[in-house]
Structure 1
Amino acid sequence: MASDTPKIRFVMIGGFLGAGKTTTIGRLAQTYQDQGLKVGVITNDQAADLVDTNLLRSQGLQVGEVAGACFCCNFNELTSTVETLSADQRPDVVIAEPVGSCTDLVATVVQPLMKLFDAEFDVAPYGVILKPSHGLRILRKEANMGFSPKAAYIFEKQLEEADFLIINRIDELSPEQIAELSDLLSKFAPETPLLRLSAKTGEGMDGLIQMFEQRGAFGQKILDLDYDVYAEGEAELGWLNSSMQMTSREPFALDDVLLGIVEGLRERLASDGAETAHLKTIGLWEGAYGVANLVSSDTPAVLSLPSNCTTKEANVVVNARVAVDPETLRDDVQAIVNQLVERMGITVEFHQTQSFRPGRPVPTHRFSDASS
């Protein structure tokens, strides 16, 4: 990149699985575009067939995907994906969405970008979105946090390294819940600025934009992190990405399919006592798309983005992150999908299904001293 070429503003938004990162990124990208900026988005997952990538592309955004490992363990792929976006239409802003079970991103992503790629990137403050459903239980130190202490350790470390924190979904929370979350976060990270946001309605977006525009001594919080606990916490989650095509002689309501899959899985996983970190499914056909998701075992399945589409054919992608054996998760997904399509008179063809536990994180770079 030539020295007189303006740097790309690099914005990364972290947060636990189901925190609302994708919805926030979609609205943030649209806000930047409304300002006349060119925006690129980079999604990240342990496997291909990511709902987030499909959703953001369906919204007309330029999206690159880093699959197969988290940003920290696939750092070179992250920077080369930015170059690919730049080759097509150089963005003014790149918004990156890391894997929701990943932490230590300041030492392994932010610091390497600042030190090794200073000529290319202008790195924004690192914001982390709090997931209210699990956040309340973990920060309250409840006996039943939904996850083991090792998984909760990752959740807390994500909050600890943030330059600022975001309470999302305030449209779904009562004033009392917002106040309690604010108090718990202020005690957990008393020096960290706190924003309140509804990515769904747009309330609080002005504050988020202003925070990302700030310059200064950001990206300096290097974690004291036990990688053994981190790896064991991640490995407790069964990970599944599955893509399929559905066809029918008679038109079917795509939204009924999406919500039916998520609701069926919610009931099945609840009967198994398996805690859901995040479960989402997207359906796409000829410009129409819809999304249904579940963000925890104690919240309802919701049609978060209706497609209002009736069709005879659709492509469907299911992503599931659940504290259960991956093979059990694979069997559950296939069983629920097969039951649903049989009931609705639909034929399904599974294209690809990957189910596994994340491996131990091995960062490409790790800067242990922000001043070095």
Structure 2
Amino acid sequence: MAHRIRYIMIGGFLGAGKTTTLGKLAAHYREQGLNVGIVTNDQASDLVDTNTLRGMGFDVGEVAGACFCCNFNELIDTMGNLSAEQRPDVILAEPVGSCTDLVATVIQPIKQLFDAEFDIAPYPVILKPSHGIRILKNEQRRGFSPKAEYILKKQLEEADLILINRIDELTNEEIEEISALCDQQLPGTPLIRMSAKTGSGIPELVEFLSQDGDFGKKILDIDYDIYADGEAELGWLNSSLTLTSENEFDLDSFLFGVVETLQTKLEEANLEPAHLKAIGLWEGFFGVANLISSDTKVELSLPSNQKARTSEVIINARVACDPELLETLVNEAVADVAAKQDVNFEFRQTQRFRPGRPVPTHRVSTPVGS
């Protein structure tokens, strides 16, 4: 029988922890002696996630310029180009965090068009507690409109498994509350409580993903007008810049400072971040700082522990605001921190926009086997 690649896609809203989870899974499969490929996805190029995973030594392809569903052929081509010398046993895929309807537009088309090449695993979706609990309780104090919230709810609705992430940051009462909300609103969908950061729950996730069965079949009843408006609410910015200094500067301090300063500016403007990420790259080392919501703290998720005189930096920002305003705030944050640390900076490329209406390459209305 021909070798079939195990295709594992991990969904979830922006900032849910998909990249960290994929890194843990990739490390596990590699330790098992399997060849692992990863495909990341973004509406633009210069993706922090791609550079983070490559920095961990993984073979990573990137589908940029549109989501998997709207760029299906490139997804297939990218998977085909991974490790041309050594065919992957497992491909881990990370879709854009503002996308949903992925069962009908990605999983089922792969099943129906490429069944001989790919073996589809169950489809888990990571729940981000900081936004998820507010949205499931309908208690948004500020932040996203109901149309943007619609996307997160639909992501959970099509999941074969819900991963409640960041349990290391939650109290027992908060974990029980969010579990109960999931049970009430998504009855019958299994739950795993997980911390991608510490690795808690990862063995249970690996076990769930090893199953063969009737998975990836929850085709949504979805309103694409609401979905498109919800995506378009978010300002999207990817910037790449070069830092230089006559004296050594602390790379982690710079990254953390930019994200923290930007958090303050967004707070002052009453704007809700979906996710902010900054990665600094220098001579084989890298560091990552991020923020996932207005009511969480900035985190140095991957410290470089390095001092440098030059570094390449990529900033990804997804915020519920006008993209031009977002670019202004990011530029101001960089300038503020650079001045404090006596660092020179030069922006090489910036892409800013609101995501366009999703137009899937394929959309299956009836799952395989029905």
Give the structure-2-normalised TM-score: 0.98
User: Which residue of 239, 259, 262 maps to 1:262?
Assistant: 259
Name the counterpart of 1:311. 308
Cα displacement (A) at 1:266: 0.1
Percent of aligned pairs with the same amino acid: 63
User: Which residue of 78, 96, 107 maps to 1:99?
Assistant: 96
Which range moves more in the overlay, 48-57 or 169-178? 169-178
Q: Distance in 2 between matches of 1:89 and 1:261?
A: 40
Partner of 1:171, secondary structure, is: helix
Task: Map Cα deviations across residues 319-346 of structure 1 (whole Å, 9 max, x no partner).
Answer: 0000010000011111110121122111
Q: Distance in 2 between matches of 1:7 and 1:86?
A: 15
Does 2:163 align with 1:166? Answer: yes
For residues 143 and 130 of structure 1, do their structure 2 counterparts lie closer, same or farther at Cα, with a shift above 3 Å needed?
Answer: closer
For residues 277 and 143 of structure 1, do their structure 2 counterparts lie closer, same or farther at Cα, with a shift above 3 Å needed?
Answer: closer
User: Which residue of 213, 216, 219 maps to 2:216?
Assistant: 219
Q: Distance in 2 between matches of 1:85 and 1:143?
A: 42
Name the counterpart of 1:78. 75
Name the counterpart of 1:125. 122
User: Which residue of 41, 56, 59 maps to 1:59?
Assistant: 56
Cα displacement (A) at 1:312: 0.5
Unaligned runs of 5+ in 2: none
The size of the alignment, in residue pairs, is 369
Name the counterpart of 2:351. 354
Give runs of aligned pairs for residues 16-31 of structure 1, distance below 5 A: 16-31=13-28
Q: Distance in 2 between matches of 1:144 and 1:81?
A: 41
For residues 248 and 157 of structure 1, do their structure 2 counterparts lie closer, same or farther at Cα, with a shift above 3 Å needed?
Answer: same
Name the counterpart of 2:338. 341
Cα displacement (A) at 1:60: 0.1
Cα displacement (A) at 1:86: 4.3
Which range moves more in the overlay, 102-111 or 300-309? 300-309
Give the structure-1-normalised TM-score: 0.98
Name the counterpart of 1:201. 198
Partner of 1:222, secondary structure, is: coil
Task: Map Cα deviations across residues 156-186 of structure 1 (whole Å, 9 max, x no partner).
Answer: 0000000110001111111111101110001
Does 2:296 align with 1:299? Answer: yes
Contact 1:138 1:145 in 2 (8 A): no
Equivalent position amino acid for 2:312 in 1:
N
Q: Distance in 1 between matches of 2:36 and 2:154?
A: 29
Cα displacement (A) at 1:287: 1.4
Name the counterpart of 1:188. 185
For residues 302 and 86 of structure 1, do their structure 2 counterparts lie closer, same or farther at Cα, with a shift above 3 Å needed?
Answer: closer
Contact 2:59 2:83 in 1 (8 A): no
Name the counterpart of 2:109. 112
Task: Map Cα deviations across residues 72-113 of structure 1 (whole Å, 9 max, x no partner).
Answer: 000000000011104242110000000000000000000000
Contact 2:143 2:320 in 1 (8 A): no
Name the counterpart of 2:151. 154
Question: Runs of 4 or more off by more than 4 Å in structure 1?
Answer: none
Contact 2:2 2:116 in 1 (8 A): no
Name the counterpart of 2:243. 246
Cα displacement (A) at 1:143: 4.3
Cα displacement (A) at 1:144: 2.1
